Every structure is written in C-alpha cells, then in structure tokens.
Amino acid sequence: MAAGKFITIEGTEGVGKSTNLAFVHDWLTARGIDVLVTREPGGTPLAEQLRELLLATREEPVAHNAELLMVFAARAQHLEQVVKPALAQGRWVLCDRFTDATYAYQGGGRGLDKTVISELEQLVQGALRPDLTLVLDIEPELGLQRAAARAELDRFEREDIAFFNRVRQAYRERAEANPAHYAQVDAGQPLSDVQSDIEACLKRLLSKPF
C-alpha cells in the first residue's frame, strides 16, 4: 500500500489555521482521500498533557531549552502513536503545526540555535518530513487582533509584537528556502481568496505528487 501524504499548516497567532485546516480536510475528503486531522503540540493523551504544560501561564519562567524539549517530547509521542501508523496505513495526515513551528517559535522567537533544533528533528523524526507545508502569512498585528477576539491569552500569545515578527520572518525564510515543499499563502486576504490559493496548492500536490 502506498504511504499517505503528510500536510502541515503553519503561521503566527490568529492566522486562520483552524479555519483552513477544516477547509483542507473537506476538500481532500470530497476527493475520496482518507484524512486524519491532528495537531501539535498534542494529538495523543500524553502529548496533550505536555501541550497544557507548555501553554499554561505561570509565575516560574520557563527555560527556553525546557520549552524546546517539551515540544520535541510531545512530537516524539505523537509521531510514534499517531502520525507514522496512519501514514503507513495509506492515510493522509493533516497536522495543525509541526516542526516548522519549532524553528519559528523556539528558533526565531526565542533565538535558540537552529543547529540544535535540527539535531533534535533528526533524532525524533529520522527522515520524516511533511510533503507539503502551507505557511499562512499575515501581519502579526492583524492575526493578534483576530486571536484576541477569542479566549484568554496563553503563554505565547502574551509575547510582544517583536517576538511575532521574528516568528513570521523564520517561517518566511523556511518557505522561501524550500519552495518544492512549502507554499506561502497571504492570509490577510478575505477567506474566500485564502481558500482559492490553498486549493491551487492542493491541486498541485495531487497532480504532481512529490
């Protein structure tokens, strides 16, 4: 059986990942593709507990390396329990955030060494990389306005705008360095235009699998 495809969706706060994840799921399902939807950090009971620890606001400052290792601990569990078995069964996996978020938030945002992130990526993932990463791009101010309309802010959402500008820049650099596997979408557009652009990316993926 052919292995399934692995698609990830990325971007800064309030960029519309959840909204467009549902769109991608419905678009693929309508074409007869069996899609598993999941998220990071999270996707298994243990990884969801690590997510709670990671996002909770707390008085104790969180060491940047502790944050990095929690993200990869959750990822290791998620990959073994959920992602790899699904791909091996021929299912497609659609994941809300993945390792690009680590390069963007812990690398760009926190300033951690990308070589260390790359070493952990190799340890935890081996050769596994997404087939397609959709990077939804938006002015961080606009995304935060959208996000602020919702629930209480988590530990990341309390960061300042300079942090989110660094995160955005890191995403853009990764997408521009590897256009065969990344697509950047202007998420500041009206939703129907964002989804037309995403649809074009999905058609390319289906017509010319990489």
Applying CB under 6 A, the residues found at the interface with ligand Z5A are 11, 13-19, 40-41, 55, 71, 96-97, 101-102, 105-106, 146-147, 154, 156-157, 187, 190-191, 194
Residue in the shown chain whose Cβ atom is closest to ligand Z5A: 16
For the chain, what's the residue count? 210
Q: Which is nearer to ligand Z5A, 18 or 178 (CB)?
A: 18
Is the Cβ–Cβ distance between 77 and 19 less than 8 Å? no
Please report, as a single letter, which amino acid is at residue 105.
Y
* Residue 144 Cβ vs ligand Z5A, minimum distance, rounded to whole Å: 9
Cβ closest to ligand Z5A, residue 1 vs residue 47: 47
Least distance (Å) between residue 57 CB and ligand Z5A: 11
**Residue 20: which H helix or E strand, with range?**
helix 17-29
Q: Encoding tokens for residue 19?
A: 């909204």
Tell me the closest approach of the beta carbon of residue 17 to ligand Z5A, in angstroms: 3
Alpha carbon separation from 4 to 34, 94, 126 (Å, rounded) = 9, 10, 17
Q: Using the minimum distance from each CB to ligand Z5A, give the nearer residue, 86 or 136.
A: 136
Query: Which two three-digit tokens encode residue 142?
Result: 């606009």
